[in-house]
A and B are shown apart, each in its own frame.
Chain A
Amino acid sequence: MGAGDRPLYPRMEKRVTFKGWLLPLCLIAPQVFISAVFFFYPAGQAVWQSLFIPDPFGLSSQFVGLENFEYLLGDPFYRASFITTAIFSTLVTLAAMIPALFLAVMADRLVKSAGVYRTLLIWPYAVAPAVAGVLWLFMFNTRVGVVAWYLGQLGYDWNHVLNEGEAMGLVVVASAWGRISYNFLFFFAALQAVPRSIIEAAAIDGARFWRRFFTIVLPLLSPTTFFLLVVNIVYAFFETFGVIHTITSGGPQQATTILVYKVFSDGFVGQDLGSSAAQSVILLVVVGLLTVLQFKYVEKRVHY
């Protein structure tokens, strides 16, 4: 056998090459199984159901083609929900990211006991969204809420049950609150990774703290900021259901009915499974497009 027949140190090869097909198949099987059961099957069901209209008693359903979609796009409530979602997710993303960045910058300046602050700032992330919702609901409850009572003492009549703007504000704050911790962690890690000497060079070049922050640090954080932007928008779209359900249930007057909440309320409260399925298909497409768009256009500008 010649020396060139096989690598001298086979263990040093970076990629593993399998001879047969059985072992690799077994290795990917768990992931394929999970994806199939929890994603492909329900997604397929949703697409399939979006083509049917069930009768009022749910006993039979009738194939209607794309009529569900046609109806939805002509529905003013549905279109309003789009705008609500856009406003809600923009506000949640901003409210979750800007304070997080500010806190991270402040924590980064600390020399002593930075660890304590970091730990304290991470706590809210451990609170489940629905619990966070209840927490904020109690604070702002029109009758017994602490904050609402103090606002009343100050002469402000807080009532998010009736006031659409207040309702939106409350769900935004409740949704963003726990997220600040998560974003803080990422911003803090990214700040620590900015080379000290670059900051020092900028200081010698004459830039004061906030000038350095905006011209040097912020641009260097852009990969992290972009990542968090995507993750937070996706969060605002999909994972805020618990908060909205506990605080406003989409009200008043659908003022806080974001697309995901509408999928739920039309499907499980209104029992219109066809429309609900069609909505989730549209949502799937929207998020897909949004992600492609972000990666294609925004990401180009964040690398240096």
Chain B
Amino acid sequence: MATVELDDIKKRFGSTEVIKGVSINVADGEFIVIVGPSGCGKSTLLRMVAGLETITEGELRIGGTRANDLEPMDRDIAMVFQNYALYPHMSVAQNMGYGLRIKGLPKAEIAAKVQGVAELLQLTELLDRKPKQLSGGQRQRVAMGRAIVREPKVFLFDEPLSNLDAKLRVQMRLEIRELQAKLGITALYVTHDQVEAMTMADRMIVMNEGIAEQIGTPLDVYERPASLFAAQFIGSPSMNVVEAEGRDGALHVGDMRLPNPAAAQGPVMLGLRPEHLVPDPDGPIALQVQLAEPLGANTLLHGKLPDGTAFTASLAGVHNVGHGGEALRLSVTPEHMHFFDKTTRRRLT
């Protein structure tokens, strides 16, 4: 158990900078999810914490001590890999006990610890099997067990669930979160899946092109996205972004006149989450519906605004509208309007 502090961490491969300065103080026992599209540098960031990549610039502290130049083995961390990286020639018990054997613990103690973790993860029946005799979910569990048994200061997860099918993923998601809470071990978890990020994180880092776009709790990021990228990456279907202009005490989107709670002047980017739009015969937004996706609990309406911008609304319940291209009027409450600067793409107010 330990804190992890990243202080303006940078990574360069040759002249290309892939991590452009990330800072975060992770509290003891906190579960941090690093989320972003592929190629955003999230795995590189995790691998720098693990010691598998060198840190070009900045300082990394684990448990308060500088860890930049420590070997992976001296950082007291455990990592779960995307492809599990189990040792194929060893049984489950040997896989889990490998780290302890390297440490030189007595055999009886290793066996006892492995047994304990196996019970925790319901792996007792599988201890004598080889990895290739296990299913994907079981391998995932063994990889978890191998990490847990060493009682590290920090858990690192590199997209551990992306090789599992959807149902198992939901189940393992819960299990990992429960285990981490029970053991109270600080965890860094990399994923490209925003649902994993939203459901698992205490706080998350939304990454894009080597930059931490936003660091905050999932609801923070959802309710007050700090940038256009964070706004559109988190939330499904993603946020509508339209060009707007503030003048005469109102917000103009094309010919439409919306309230202007932020008192914005001049051109801005307006973000509206599809699920915050409500049907309202007098509403300011005119949506030309082109396609409806009835999902049962809600209905997704895809269409266009009068000026041709693509726009999506998610309405609660079943709506039998929108297959024939009819117009629908919508409104939005002022607290659900997000304003972003047109050039910096950062949040206004």
**Which positions in A face B, CB cutoff 8 Å?**
195, 197-198, 200-208, 211, 215-216, 219-220, 222, 304
Contact = CB atoms under 8 A, between A and B. Distances in A.
B85 A216 contact: no
A203 B156 CA distance: 14
Given A206-B102, A208-B73, A201 B79 contact: yes
Contacts of B81: 197, 200-201
A225 to B, nearest CB: 13
B98 A205 contact: yes
Contacts of B98: 202, 205, 207, 215
A206 B73 contact: yes
B106 interface: no
B73 A204 contact: yes
A204 B72 contact: yes
Contacts of A201: 79, 81, 85-87, 146
Contacts of B103: 206
Contact of B88 (A203, A204, A208, A220): A220
- Best-buried of A197, A204, A208 by chain B (most CB within 10 Å): A204
26 contacts: A197-B82, A197-B85, A198-B88, A200-B72, A201-B79, A201-B87, A202-B87, A203-B71, A203-B72, A203-B73, A204-B50, A204-B73, A204-B78, A204-B79, A205-B73, A205-B99, A205-B146, A205-B150, A207-B73, A207-B102, A215-B98, A216-B87, A220-B88, A220-B89, A304-B130, A304-B132
B107 to A, nearest CB: 16
B310 interface: no
A203 B81 CA distance: 13
B52 interface: yes
> Per DSSP, are chain A's interface residues mostly helix, strand or loop, or mixed?
helix
A268 to B, nearest CB: 49
Given A203-B52, A219-B89, A220-B88, A211 B102 contact: yes
Of A202, A206, A211, most buried by chain B (CB within 10 Å of CB) is: A206
A205 B102 contact: yes
Most interface-central of B83, B86, B102 (chain A CB within 10 A):
B102
Contacts of B87: 198, 201-202, 216
Contacts of B85: 195, 197-198, 200-201
Given A200-B52, A202-B87, 15 more contacts: A195-B85, A197-B82, A198-B88, A200-B72, A200-B79, A201-B146, A203-B71, A204-B51, A204-B77, A205-B98, A205-B102, A206-B73, A206-B102, A206-B103, A222-B89
A112 to B, nearest CB: 13
Contacts of A304: 88-89, 130, 132
A201 to B, nearest CB: 4
A275 B89 CA distance: 48
Interface string B124-136: 0000001010000
Contacts of A207: 73, 98, 102
Contacts of B86: 198, 201
Nearest to A222: B89
A198 to B, nearest CB: 5
A216 B95 CA distance: 11
Contacts of A215: 98
Nearest to B156: A204
Contacts of B88: 198, 220, 304
4 tightest CB-CB pairs across the interface, nearest first? A304-B89, A205-B99, A197-B85, A206-B73
Nearest to B103: A206
Contacts of B82: 197
B159 to A, nearest CB: 12
A220 B52 CA distance: 21
Contacts of A205: 73, 98-99, 102, 146, 150
Nearest to B94: A215
Interface in B255-276: none
Contacts of A216: 87
A198 B52 CA distance: 12
A215 B99 CA distance: 12
Interface string B101-132: 01100000000000000000000000000101
Interface in B31-74: 50-52, 71-73
Contacts of A208: 73
Nearest to B147: A204
Contacts of B79: 200-201, 204
Given A204-B78, A206-B99, A211-B102, A197 B83 contact: yes
Contacts of B132: 304
A207 B52 CA distance: 14
A222 B88 CA distance: 12
